[in-house]
Amino acid sequence: MKAPYIMAGDGGLETLLPTIEFLQQNGATMLEIGIPFSDPVADGPVIQAAGLRALASGVTLAGVLAELEQHKNRIAIPLVIMCYANPITRFGIERFAQACATIGIKGVIIPDVPMEEETPFVQALRPLGIAFIRFITLTSTTERIKETLADAEGFIYAVTVKGTTGERASYEQDIFKLLQQVSAQSPVPVYAGFGISTKEHIANFLAVCDGVIIGSTIVQALYEKRYDDIIALLK
C-alpha cells in the first residue's frame, strides 16, 4: 500500500482535484491530504514551504473540505485528512467530523494531539466511522506502544525517524525492528512514514509493515511538475 501525502492547495485550491486524480490513476492506494497551518510542528522544510504557499493562496480548512465535497464522486481511493488541532477547533470539532463524514473521509491525523487529549476528537469522529489515527515512534516505550495499540482505529502511523518530515538517505536499523514488533501486535494495519523517498525505501518498509506514506518527495515533485518521477516511484 502506497499512500502519498499532498499539501492541499499548494498551487491553488483548483489544483487539489487534478492532483488527487493523477495520483489515484498512477499507483496511490490511499491519500493523506495535508491542511496548511502557520505553525506545523511535525513538518520539515519542504512541507512547511508547501503549506506557506497554500496559505498565501488563501487556502483554509473550510475551503479544502468544500472542494473535496464538491468533487467526492470523482475520488476513488480512501482519503485521510492531516490537520493540526487549532484549525479543527476553530472550525468546530463536531462540524469538522460531520463534514468529513459527508465527504467520505476514512481517517484523521492530528499530530499535535496525544492520546491523553484525543477524547473530544474521537467522540466526534468514531460514531461517524472515521478513524482517529495514532502514532508510534522510535522513542515510544513498550508500555506506550501497548496503550497506543489498544482500541487503535484505521491504521497505526509509525514515525520512522527522530525529527520532522523530510527526505533521508538512510534509517536507523531500530526502526525495522520496531515495525516488526508493532506489526505483530497491532489490531490494525501499520504504515511507515517520514523521510521515505526512494523505491528502495518503499521496498524495505513494505517488507516489515502494511504500507508507506510518502510525503516530502511527492510534495516537491508536484511543485516542480516532475510527474514522471512520481509515477516511477508509485508504480
Specify the DSSP class assigned to residue 128. Answer: G
What residues are annotated to the active site? Answer: 32, 43
Contact 42, 165 (CB under 8 A): yes
- Using alpha carbons only, give the angle 50, 55, 59 rounded to the nearest 5 degrees: 110
Place of cell 513498550: 142
Distances (CA, A) of 24 to 78, 98, 149, 224: 10, 25, 29, 19
Burial class for 104, CB neighbours closer than 10 Å (0-12, 13-18, 19+): middle
Distance between CA 2 and CA 233 in Å, rounded?
Answer: 10
